[in-house]
Amino acid sequence: MKLIIAEKPSVASSIAQVMGATIKKDGYIMGNGYIVSWCVGHLIELAEPKAYNPDYEIWKKEDLPIIPDKWQYNIKSDTKKQYDVLKSLLNDDRVETVVCATDAGREGELIFRLVYMMTKCKKTAERLWISSMEDSAIREGMNSLKPLSEYDNLYAAARARQEADWLIGINCTRLFSVLYNATLKVGRVQTPTLAMLVDREKEISNHEKKFYYKVHIEFQGIKADSENIEKKEDADNLASGCNETEVTVIKTTKEGKAFNPPKLYDLTSLQRDANKMFGFTAKKTLETTQSLYEKKLVTYPRTDSCYLTEDMEGTAEEVINAILETDPKFGVGNRQYNIRKLLNSSKVTDHHAIIPTVEITDTDISTLPDDEQKVLYLVMTRLLAATGTQFKKIVYSGEYECNGYKFVSSFNSIIDNGYKDYEAVLEKHFGIDKKDETPGYENVAVLKEGETYENEDTSVTEHTTKPPKRYTEATLLSAMEKAGKEDMDADVERTGLGTPATRADIIEKLVNDKYVKREKKTLVPTESGINMISIMPENLKSPGMTADWENTLAEISKGNADFNKFMDSIENYVRHLTETTQKDESKAKLFSSGIGKCPNCNSDVLYGKFGAYCSGKCGIYFGKPYGKALAEEQWAELLDGKKIFVKGFKNKKSTIYDAYLQIKGTAPGTYTYDNGETKDQIKIEFEMTFPPKRKKKEE
């Protein structure tokens, strides 16, 4: 039998249906010579530092850098059941060959390879690589499976990404947290992304608002403007001098401008438009597009290409016809679909651009969730617009003299909407009120140089200089995509912070870690985010180095860069950083001194990923009182000497109860690590009391 392993249950179900496997079991589907199972995202993750050395559970600068000699892995507890299913299937004697059918990209490759490695499977493995979940694409892909070894370079790039992120994240987070007695989460991509937001906020804060003025004159239906004038008195004097004064035409110009249609969507450009048009977060757009992909309505979303391969001309034509059949409103414009300009195999790496599939003709789009309708219409519109004709307009410009001062005017006249006709259908469908182009005043066209006209009206308007705008998700995604380009050669494979598949998660992580907050459509760094960036070394927060790393990862995936050399460079960077970075005493007060004082050594107590811990060297164990994990606020009250009421304790019989808790003192004790080792360690003693029982009401 052939075992097919997909990334998600929904994808496995689609593959099973195509392959004729219909018998549902616990964790897999079988039949017709196939067993189809699935991962649930990442089943396996890199182990925490304490797996390498129990002493690493306590964060200390002298332990840095932490660089494993041999990487260890953990099976995630919440998905262990499905891992056990896969382990059993991979070692099942009925299975002769295995098919990797996880998402066709770097992370999908990593998900499968870790399972394959951890289960010590030695069976022949093949790779299914498809860009669409349509039945025909699955059949074609299964008929042209490639040896898994052809994707070893992609796996190497995935490993490099995972291990580099661990080394940077673990070491830098611990380094700066210990130096400043605060939990400061540092990441290879998230830190320079946060730095861009902080830099923009500084530009806004440092902006000095300045007033300036403009004088306007009107004649022959034309309104012309002066240049910026610094003083109101000067503007008023000019306006006064222009009243009832003749206007002389200096020159007029008529210039035709043509704008090419937009490219097809890659994930980042789709996320930008969904944010601008519908206010979607990048994560929401990715999740929605992924859902449409699993419903076979669009092609693979995690792509960084805006082109189709040169053998897809017929496919694109079929999809265009499917769109017109699905919604006849798109039958606008001159219907000249130039598909060939979308075809460029050299600009398609792992996957082509996002386009709809012909399955849309068999779907009642109105029954889809509202978010999915919006994203699907964006993708349908973009395919039509990208194949459409140019948008054309004429710009009429004039230069005039009045009272010895120059005035100018500029007006647009649209002569061919071109591809914008399709965009107008989308806007009307969702009731989006979009501002029209500047109205066209062809009055300028009849003017001749040297002619004079009576000025009919004069006015003065006051203006202020504007600070830079805060980032929205749309503009931040653009900035992340372009980051580092100015520091790199034009022919590099990839620049930018992160990849199309990871940028949404980076933004969400910054928000969840409370370094960034959302204010309407904008992203604003918090005080914590601003303070953290203030202590980061320049290269750690600069996008240039991170973009360079991202490009190297892309080169590793193509076999053009060496995995070991890249990892050596990351390790050397981490060593240098942890050995040379010192605390900036002038910045120490920016960070909280902790949630309380250690009852054993009076050092600051900090709160991190695994709960409360002493920032000193006494090694006291806070742990989970009576097996109950406590929140930061609860620890703060306990350390302040207060008695707190805690819900949800559980005894050995799994009975749940509530009780009061208070710190009683400290005492010698032992701590047992996950690997069974024990260590002498001072422990906190707690006093537990119970609320009085309620008296039963008398009958």
Across the 699 residues of the chain, what is the mean pLDDT of every consecutive 10-residue run?
94 94 95 95 92 90 95 92 96 95 91 95 94 89 95 96 95 93 89 95 94 95 94 96 93 93 95 94 95 94 91 92 92 78 85 94 94 97 94 93 94 90 92 64 75 94 95 94 64 67 91 92 94 93 86 92 96 95 88 80 78 78 86 90 91 87 88 70 89 61
Q: Could you say which of 3.40.50.140, 3.40.50.150, 1.10.8.60, 3.40.50.2300 is the CATH number of the domain covering 2-144?
A: 3.40.50.140
Residue 441 a catalytic site member: no
Q: Are 682 and 619 in contact (CB under 8 A)?
A: yes
Spatial separation of the C-alpha atoms in residues 373 and 356, rounded to whole Å: 12
Question: What is the identity of the amino acid at 532?
Answer: M
The torsion region of residue 471 among left (phi > 0), alpha (psi -120 to 50) and beta comes to beta
Q: Which residues of the chain does CATH 2.70.20.10 include?
A: 211-260+394-419+432-464
Q: How far apart are CA 251 and CA 234, in angstroms?
A: 25
pLDDT for the residue numbered 654: 82
pLDDT score at 699: 41
- The CA-atom distances, in angstroms, between 635 and each of 497, 654, 659, 666 are 37, 24, 15, 15
Q: Which two tokens stand for residue 444?
A: 């300028």
Closest CA to 7 of 93, 156, 130, 161: 130
CA-to-CA distance for 567 and 71, rounded, in angstroms?
13
Work out whether the CA dihedral 425, 271, 39, 149 comes out positive or negative.
Answer: positive
What distance in Å separates the CA atoms of residue 78 and residue 76, rounded to the nearest whole number?
Answer: 6
659 with 691: CB under 8 angstroms?
Answer: yes
What pLDDT score does 487 carry? 53
Say if residues 660 and 644 touch (Cβ distance below 8 Å).
yes
List 34, 300, 400, 607, catalytic entry: 300
Q: How far apart are CA 475 and CA 193, in angstroms?
A: 12
- Whole-angstrom distance, CA of residue 592 vs CA of residue 195: 21
What pLDDT was estimated at residue 591? 80
Instruction: State the DSSP code for 69.
Output: S
DSSP 8-state class, residue 41: S
Residue 561 has a pLDDT of 95
For 161-205+474-587, the fitting CATH number among 3.30.70.100, 1.10.460.10, 3.30.465.10, 3.40.30.10 is 1.10.460.10
Class of domain 267-386: mainly alpha
Could you tell me if 113 and 71 are in contact, meaning their C-beta atoms sit under 8 angstroms apart?
A: no
Class assignment of domain 211-260+394-419+432-464? mainly beta
CATH 1.10.290.10 residue ranges in the chain?
267-386
pLDDT of 615 reads 74
CA pair distance 273, 380, nearest whole angstrom: 13
All CATH 3.40.50.140 domain ranges in the chain, comma separated: 2-144
Q: Which residue has the tokens 């900090």?
A: 606
Alpha-carbon gap, residue 292 to 282, rounded angstroms: 15
pTM over 0.85: no
Alpha-carbon torsion, ordered 112, 113, 116, 120, to 10 deg: -160
Contacts 24+ apart (CB under 8 A), 659-662: 659/688, 659/689, 659/690, 659/691, 660/688, 660/689, 660/690, 660/691, 661/625, 661/626, 661/686, 661/687, 661/688, 662/638, 662/686, 662/687, 662/689
CATH 1.10.460.10 range(s) for the chain read 161-205+474-587
